[in-house]
Structure 1
């Protein structure tokens, strides 16, 4: 995969670019029974649910990678204004979307 810059800012310092279009990467994962049991226990005693934290971190990383692949297909050099969105689907699935604007450098 090309080394595509991903930034949450609108402007890349010292770069002029044209907008190519929107790009996104999405992943949906299900939680497993062991994580759910740990989460239920933690809801009584409090604290971080590390299994869910790991799942969300992996999901965000994969969503970014998928977004970068879409940008690469468009021959983009970077993605600006990257954001995340996430939500639950049913009781046991989590969806994460990384999205932004693909741009091509110009001089």
Structure 2
């Protein structure tokens, strides 16, 4: 599955637009991560536990987006984006979205 942030793929034409696709995950932070983040915020620096959680969340959202696009018969996703929001002060929502298309060499 080709996933790009652009609206087209050089050297290819869009044969069919199959619609919007999404990959969504909501992750809560564990107690240890929250306590560690609190201490770390006193001295500054990277919050490695939270960084790992966000990286893993993005990967999961991207995989779900790819699966949804494949289920629609797509071989590419155009105009791909991520969106992240805090959820109820206890976790993070990560949404991957774009337009599922079928492309072919021009």
Q: TM > 0.5 between the two?
A: yes
Runs of 4+, deviation exceeding 6 Å: none
Cα distance in 2 for partners of 1:90, 1:20 equals 33
Q: Is 1:12 matched up with 2:9?
A: yes
2:33 matches 1:49:
no
Question: Any residues of structure 2 matched to 1:39-78 within 5 Å, and which?
Answer: 39-78=37-76
Query: Normalising by the residue count of structure 1, what TM-score does the alignment of the two structures yield?
Result: 0.93
Q: Separation in 2 of the partners of 1:62 and 1:5? A: 16
Structure 1, unpaired ranges of 5+: none
Count of aligned pairs between the two proteins: 104
Unaligned runs of 5+ in 2: none
For 1:1-40, what aligned pairs fall within 5 Å after superposition? 4-17=1-14, 18-40=16-38
| Root-mean-square deviation over aligned CA pairs | 1.0
